[in-house]
Amino acid sequence: MELYKRKAVIIAKIETVYGTDSVPLGANAIGVTDLKVEPAKGTKKKREIIYPDFSTQPHIITQQHQAVSFTVELKGGGAAGTAPECGALLRSCMLEETISAGVSVAYQPRSADFESCTIYVNQDGVLHKLLGCRGTVQFNVSGGEYPTASFSFLALAVAPADVAPVVPVYTAVVPVEVNNTNTDFSFGGYTAVLHKLQVDLGVTTKFRELPNQTATIMTTGRDCKGSLVMDAMMNADHNYWTSWSTAAALAMTMTHGATAGNIVEIAAPKVQMDNVDYGDVDDILTFNTPISLTRNAGDDEMTITFR
């Protein structure tokens, strides 16, 4: 019986106990694109026994685990103070959730007490349970598109099973275009014409299973980087060349959306330009610069807030 690639249901829920199935339901459904499931991650080890022939030897698989990646729409939770559809995913990427009832939900980096989630990926009747998921996220904002968040997770090994998918319940919130009406951007106090902003949280994860240590996805570090493409300008308007040469730390904010419940803000207090190169879009000169999002007081290199 054939299985169809596009017939998939993805649901996710925060775990109370690490690696213990949190049993996500249809109400925990997440709409995704670019889905890639890797249920057979591990290391192939040959035994290398010496035999009186040259036949290929059998192998065993060690350090078995799983991986999954996908992209979601970056949008609000439908009401101010309501977590977005991807809230459990963000919390599993070294981000701490702070809910201000009726106002906002903010996610800020943390360096301890890391959370994890259970993700179910049902591909046309084949259920992949991914337990103990921890990973990283990259935010992408491009003019003329809707913003997205791309997630990559490692998970503990669980054998796939034939299970009918749950009925997913998706949020009714629709993303809006990145444009002059919906999007505000400021970098170093200057409202540059923004073409593209990319922010990668840069979380490092590792699978470990050792004597006296149960199988775990370890979160071992974070290096928040990104890139900017914006219209070039005269020095008299704003001198980014000086900002680069002095390694100045510039505040950056991007606020997207105009309706409460579907407003997303990415803010970083101290962004450094790693380089500045010329590019062009529609024959208009641009500044193309990789950026580093650095600490202020610590665990505050960036915040993403839904209002």
d(CA 272, CA 187): 10
Q: Tell me if 55 is assigned to some domain.
A: no
- Domains of the chain: total: 1
**pLDDT range class, residue 1, cuts 50, 70, 90:** confident
Residue 52 lies in a domain: no
In angstroms, the CA 8 to CA 126 distance is 9
Residue 9 pLDDT: 97
Residue 1 lies in a domain: no
Is residue 229 within 8 A of residue 279, CB to CB? The reply is yes
Q: Quick check: is 57 in a domain?
A: no
Specify if 48 maps to a domain. Answer: no
Question: Which pLDDT score, from 0 to 100, does residue 47 have?
Answer: 84
Q: How confident is the model at residue 142 (pLDDT cuts 50, 70, 90)?
A: very high
**pLDDT score of 38 more than 90:** yes
Residues 6+ apart with CB under 8 A from 211: none
Structure token pair of residue 14: 């925060």
**Residue 53 counted as domain residue:** no
The span from the CA of 44 to the CA of 176, in Å, is 46
Range of the domain at 196: 8-41+63-306
pLDDT for 125 equals 96
CA-closest candidate to residue 252, choices 261, 260, 243:
243
Q: How would you classify residue 25: left for phi > 0, otherwise alpha for psi between -120 and 50, otherwise beta?
A: beta
Does any domain span residue 120? yes
pLDDT band at 90 (very low <50, low <70, confident <90, very high): very high
- The answer to the question of residue 187 being in a domain is yes
Q: In whole angstroms, what is the distance from residue 212 CA to residue 85 CA?
A: 37
Q: What is the pLDDT of residue 46?
A: 87
What Cα–Cα distance (Å) separates residue 218 from each residue in 18, 19, 135, 157? 11, 12, 9, 14
